[in-house]
Amino acid sequence: MPDSNPDSRYIAAHVVSQVLGGASLDQLWPEAGLQLDEKNRALAQELIYGTLRWQPRLEWWTRQLLHHPGKVNPTIRALLWVGVYQILFMRIPSHAAVHETVAVCGRIRQGNKAKGLVNAVLRQSLRGEKELRRKMSACTQAYYAFPGWWIDLCRRDWPDEWKAILSYSNQRPPMFLRLNALYRTDPDIPERLQQQGISAWPMPDMNQAWLLGRGVPVESLPDFQQGSCSIQDGGAQWAATFLAVEPGMRVLDACCAPGGKTGHILERCHGACDLWALDVNQDRLKRVHENLARLKLHARVCHGDLLKPELWWDGTGFDRILLDAPCSGSGVVRRHPDIKILRREQDISVFSLRQKRLIENAWKLLKPGGKLVYSTCSIFRQEGEGVVRDWLGAQTDAVISMPPCMPWMHPADPGVYLLPGKLGMDGFYYAVIDKMD
């Protein structure tokens, strides 16, 4: 981003336009945020995440006001969305939102020619907001702010819950902590948070999960750098719980990066297991090393592919395997709103085929009498129970062994779903499978 004096709206427009080009927000935002001071970084983050979260609605909105929407420069188009987002969703005074957004045009290549266009669209948005909102209610994609194929799939899979799922998936995600069971302080972490004016509530049926009343910088968390706690959604914390690792076991975390579940597994067994943390992405393994170092825990961190075990496996079976399979991310889209732009309908079948290959390979590495937990952060049935059910049909040594389903979980055939918004958590699918002796 070549600019000697970047500001939040300029950064936001460029990041959003790069996502339009296929780049990942997880890769873009950390570097982009370094260019801004604390105040402007917070504004830029709100503009980027909010614009991407509501992109289907913002795209529909601006198309109503453009004569030739297809001819608009991608960065200017992203800037229009950023501008309309401020008008529709933020408390920024309208004159400031328009003036500051138009001013960004002068800093975009060939953007001076678009100043009049941006000014006109934003001012028409202000004048015609009531009528545009009325028209928007008749467009499903604009109203729910999701691609049409996503809405159709969600409605098919969840005929009674789809509206709530889409609504929760557009909300800002809450912040969850996972208290480190191996870390001891006096007073405890929740009490110390309360002393800082940060409310925290324990999650039902979970020993380590706490929901914060508001998001805070990690520097505000007591002894975070010393390993007192981790930031991890409550729904994700069920993976280690279902895995039920005991001291002395040999364990494989098959798609481990960035290492949140790896740390949780080790915390629950007091670090007394032989844990292999495997991931195919070498760069993402850096995060695994960092998380383990902060928690003062050890695992065998391996760069390798579960589909090619001959390149990394020593031939000895595992007592427990966690397969947190790559998926569409449909259950965590509120934390990763760029998924709305990056995912395509055909991706779901591609993920499903790969997931079936992964579970087949993982099963070969599991000892008789062992346990495999298959999970995805997706609420699409084709990536969850569809994968497990199809795979089970060809197995003679596999038995589903799910613990009792909690009232806020949704039973599946087989496994369980956690739907977005239940107790504030993200969406997940889990299946627990025992290998017969």
Which tokens in the block code for residue 219? Answer: 């520097």
Q: What is the C-alpha separation between 260 and 335, in angstroms, rounded?
A: 15
Q: Could you tell me how many helices (H) and strands (E) the chain has, helices first? A: 18, 13
Give me the half-sphere count of Cα atoms (radius 13 Å) on the Cβ side of residue 6. Answer: 23
**Pairing, β 274-279 against β 250-253:** parallel
State yes or no: is 377 an active-site residue: yes
In the chain, the amino acid numbered 373 is: V
DSSP for 304-330 reads --TT-GGGT--S--EEEEEEE-----T
Contact 374, 400 (CB under 8 A): no
Residues 390 and 372: their CA atoms lie apart, in Å, by: 16
Question: Among residues 105, 255, 327, 377, which one is catalytic?
Answer: 377
- Greatest Cα pair distance, the chain, in angstroms, is 73
**CA–CA distance, 90 with 82 (Å, rounded to integer):** 11
Among residues 52, 45, 44, which one has the least CA distance to residue 16? 52
How many angstroms separate the CA atoms of 368 and 303, rounded?
26
Residue 55's CB is within 10 A of a number of other CB atoms, namely: 23
* Active-site amino acid positions: 377
